[in-house]
Amino acid sequence: MEDKEFLERVQQIRQRLYRIAYTYIKNEEDAKEIISNTVYKGYKNLNKLKNNEFFETWITRILINECHQLSRNNQGKVHVSLEFISDWMHKESEENYDIDDKIDLYEAVDSLEGSIKTVIILKYLEDMTIKETAKHIGISESRVKNYIHKGLKCLREKLRGEING
pLDDT digits (tens, 9 = 90+) for 75-93: 544 444 445 444 545 544 4
Helices 99-110, 141-164: inter-axial angle, 10-degree rounding: 130
CA atoms within 13 A on the CB side of 55: 19
How is residue 129 annotated by DSSP? Answer: -
* High-pLDDT (> 90) share of the chain, %: 21
Confidence of residue 9 (pLDDT cuts 50, 70, 90): very high
Alpha carbons 71 and 75: distance in angstroms, whole number: 6
Higher pLDDT, 84 or 30: 30
pLDDT of residue 155: 82
pLDDT of residue 44: 92
Domain architecture of the chain: domains with CATH: 1-77 (1.10.1740.10), 80-165 (1.10.10.10)
3-state secondary structure of 2: coil
Alpha carbons 113 and 111: distance in angstroms, whole number: 7
CB of 82 closer than 8 Å to CB of 99: yes
pLDDT of residue 80: 44
Nearest-Å Rg of the Cα atoms of the chain is: 17
Predicted TM-score (pTM) of the model is 0.56
pLDDT of residue 146: 92
Alpha carbons 122 and 118: distance in angstroms, whole number: 6
Confidence of residue 142 (pLDDT cuts 50, 70, 90): very high
Alpha carbons 88 and 126: distance in angstroms, whole number: 10
